[in-house]
Amino acid sequence: MRLDKLLAHMGYGSRKEVKTFIRKGYVLLNGEAVFDDDIKVDEENDEIILLDQSVEYQKQIYLLLNKPKGYVSATYDTKEPTVLDLIEETQKGLFPVGRLDKDTTGLLLITNDGKLAHELLSPKHHVAKTYELTFTGEFKNSFVNQFKEGIVLEDGYICKPALFTLIEPQRGKITIFEGKFHQIKRMMLALGMEVTSLRRISFGDLELPKDLAEGEYRPLTKEEIEHLKA
């Protein structure tokens, strides 16, 4: 496989960006700097290092995106930009694991591993998702227990226990272990409050990296992938 194709496939940047990395000598192939972006590599056996980081080729792609507002969590949409428009990726078959609303920001996993996505989203596995939110309306201390006991949504659905921590009078943190449509907004509405901003800061063991700007993404590390699979 061509070196630039491999690096782009693995999510290290667009084809153009990774070509620049190679031409600047950021990539070591079996210990030697290479400057030739179309050089062919043996993806199974060659040692590839990009800026001190070992690049392990994987057919399956796992990217952690910091989703900005204004993008829908879909692979295709006739009207709106999708989260995949943010991924400069040559690999086909990528999709977001679950959904964040168009106006929600934060951690969204993008992969082509259908089996893992299915397991992470399965209600059986209760993957924890933590969000930071701002809201209008009065927060009463008794709400913390109501979240623990299970909020009843407007359609009668009883939510699984959730954890709410108030950070400031109109700002909090909430962890849920399921993923119903507009769940956080609906839970807050059920208690007479309205969400004004929502950002996912963790998904299972994965945390939104502080240095990842909105719209940016990075590949998961080998350890992060193993953890998710476990």
Closest approach of Cβ 182 to ligand URA, in Å? 4
Q: Report if residue 224 touches ligand URA, rule: CB under 6 A.
A: no
Q: Which position among 198, 220, 225, 228 is part of the footprint of ligand URA (CB under 6 A)?
A: 198
Q: Which position among 97, 100, 206, 220 is part of the footprint of ligand URA (CB under 6 A)?
A: 100
Beta pairing, strands 194-203 & 206-207: antiparallel
Tokens standing for residue 171? 């700002």
Q: Report if residue 55 touches ligand URA, rule: CB under 6 A.
A: no
Residue 164 contacts residue 174 (beta carbons within 8 Å): yes
Residue 21 contacts residue 50 (beta carbons within 8 Å): yes
Residues 6+ apart with CB under 8 A from 174: 130, 131, 133, 147, 162, 163, 164, 165, 184, 187
Of 33-41, 115-123, 142-150, 182-190, the window that binds ligand URA (rule: CB under 6 A) is 182-190
Sheet with 48-50: list strands edge to edge: 32-33, 27-29, 48-50, 53-54
Q: How large is the C-alpha radius of gyration of the chain?
A: 20
Closest approach of Cβ 79 to ligand URA, in Å? 18
SS3 67: strand
| Residues 104-133 within binding reach of ligand URA (CB under 6 A) | 104
Of the residues 36, 42, 101, 205, only one is catalytic, namely 101
Q: Report if residue 101 touches ligand URA, rule: CB under 6 A.
A: yes
Nearer to ligand URA among residue 50 and residue 74 (C-beta): 74
- Residue 4 appears among annotated catalytic residues: no
Closest approach of Cβ 36 to ligand URA, in Å? 44
Q: Which position among 27, 183, 217, 228 is part of the footprint of ligand URA (CB under 6 A)?
A: 183
Q: Which of 92, 91, 94, 90 is nearest to 82 (CA)?
A: 94
